[in-house]
Amino acid sequence: MIALEAVSKVYPDRTVAVESLDLVVESATVTVLVGPSGCGKTTTLRMINRMIEPSSGRITIDGKDIATQPAAQLRRGIGYVIQSAGLFPHWRVIDNVCAVPDLLGQDRKTSRARALELLELVGIGSEMAKRYPAQLSGGQQQRVGVARALAADPPVLLMDEPFGAVDPLVRTQLQHDFLELQRQLRKTVVFVTHDIDEAIILANKVAVFGEHGHLHQYASPADLLAQPADEFVNRFLGGDRQLRLLSLLPVDQIPIAPATEIKLGDTIDAGGPVQWTLVISPERRPLGWLAPGGAAGVVSESSTMVPVTPVGPGSNGRSLLDAVLASPAATAVRVDHEGLLLGVVTMENFVGHPAPTGPR
């Protein structure tokens, strides 16, 4: 969908922002640009919609050279989301979303109906459509910014650190919602972030930039973490890249073992449990842990138990490891879609497990 061929940007004072960059962004994928400050990530992003004109090289979108198109026309066909949303403060939410459709001369009734659909899609209820940006939280403003970028149904979406100005909890939710939105809409997305964890979560492919936009590695998150191309990439990923790699490992790929378990209504012999024991309901739903050396007798819901937080389908290896470390029994409890016990996982289950590789 997007191809950059030997693209450079040199400013009049001879500052080199990007030098001879080659990059191909595949259709309907999320490509995330990461790297240290000043490495040319945002410059590259803005050259794609000609907010910054390249000094040399060629950029094509769907095979068409963007230099042959009027800049304003080009930008109307490309969604653009920035940090802090960049909404017009004196316009209502619905008018912000309809900014590009109005410029394109779309029917007002149609564009407003589409705007309401998009607001619902990004998690903003129709009751907020008549509010002004100042009446929304930071996370809500970012959602409106995404809806505005999608209003004219552009095939390409550029996102420049869109979630960087919100708190970590809101950011996590926005990332989750963005992935769900992308699964539905299948846009070609170029996304800039400083956060390698965000890149790993969101990207189909990650481009690691160095000085002057030098492309050190362009790979899937799994391949990037498993096989850094050079020492620069290795240092940029940090010392915990193996833990990050676990976040790409589906939870069902980690082997499980039978639990040491006891059902409600069963009797514990004198001396109590000799090891941490998982209490389950007759339907095999995990209820809690009995500590070693506890009281003997019939196990009931009033028995002293340490709460258990089961790990269900859709989680990843890192979540499972966190559950092992947080458990008093050093054991994570796996459950199925109905919350019924599948088995348990300990640290031993992680040892020697192969790392995920290949595209997501």
pLDDT tens digits for range 176-200: 889 998 999 999 999 999 889 899 9
Give the residue, 167 or 39, on which the prediction is more confident: 39
Residue 360 falls inside a structural domain: no
Is the pLDDT at 353 greater than 80? The verdict is no
pLDDT of residue 164: 80
- Domain shared by 227 and 325, yes or no: no
How high is the mean pLDDT of the chain?
A: 90
Helices (H), the chain: 41-48, 71-76, 93-97, 99-103, 108-121, 138-150, 168-185, 196-202, 221-226, 231-237, 241-246, 317-326
Q: Region 192-211: what's the mean pLDDT?
A: 93
pLDDT of residue 106: 84
- Domain shared by 95 and 152, yes or no: yes
- Domain shared by 174 and 269, yes or no: no
Q: Region 2-19: what's the mean pLDDT?
A: 95
- Domain shared by 208 and 302, yes or no: no
pLDDT in tens, 50-90: 999 999 999 999 999 999 999 988 988 899 988 877 888 99
Is the pLDDT at 282 greater than 70? The verdict is yes
| C-alpha–C-alpha distance, residues 135 and 79, integer Å | 24
pLDDT in tens, 287-339: 999 999 877 889 988 888 999 999 999 888 888 999 999 999 999 999 999 99
Mapped onto helix, strand or coil, the DSSP state of residue 231 is: helix
- For residue 35, give the CATH number of its domain: 3.40.50.300
- Domain shared by 237 and 260, yes or no: no
pLDDT of residue 208: 97
pLDDT of residue 311: 94
- For residue 305, give the CATH number of its domain: 3.10.580.10
pLDDT of residue 5: 97
Map tokens 């002004």 to a residue.
Answer: 132
pLDDT in tens, 116-143: 988 988 888 888 999 999 999 888 898 8
Using the CB atoms, write b or e for 255-264: b if 16+ within 10 Å. ebeebbbbee
List of residues 6+ apart from 215 with CB closer than 8 A:
21, 22, 23, 207, 208, 209
Structural domain of 302: 252-349
Give the residue, 320 or 240, on which the prediction is more confident: 320
- Domain shared by 122 and 67, yes or no: yes
Is the pLDDT at 228 greater than 70? The verdict is yes
- Domain shared by 155 and 224, yes or no: yes
Is the pLDDT at 357 greater than 60? The verdict is no
Residue 102 falls inside a structural domain: yes
- Domain shared by 197 and 312, yes or no: no
Instruction: Work out the burial of residue 184: count CB atoms within 10 Å of its CB; fewer than 13 is exposed, 13-18 middle, 19 or more buried.
Output: exposed
pLDDT of residue 219: 95
Q: How confident is the model at residue 342 (pLDDT cuts 50, 70, 90)?
A: very high
- Domain shared by 243 and 283, yes or no: no
Q: pLDDT exceeding 70 applies to what percent of the chain?
A: 97
Q: Domain boundary at 249, 275, 290, which?
A: 249
- Domain shared by 104 and 7, yes or no: yes
pLDDT of residue 286: 96
> For the chain, how many structural domains are there in total?
2
Q: Region 271-292: what's the mean pLDDT?
A: 90
- Can you read off the two tokens belonging to residue 146? 């995404």
pLDDT of residue 253: 87
Is the pLDDT at 49 greater than 70? The verdict is yes
- Domain shared by 204 and 295, yes or no: no
Q: pLDDT exceeding 90 applies to what percent of the chain?
A: 57
Residue 189 falls inside a structural domain: yes
Q: Domain boundary at 190, 218, 249, which?
A: 249
Residue 356 falls inside a structural domain: no
- Domain shared by 29 and 178, yes or no: yes
| C-alpha–C-alpha distance, residues 352 and 36, integer Å | 33
Residue 342 falls inside a structural domain: yes
Give the residue, 283 or 166, on which the prediction is more confident: 283
Residue 354 falls inside a structural domain: no
Q: Domain boundary at 217, 234, 249, which?
A: 249
Q: Which residue(s) pair with 217 in the sheet?
A: 208
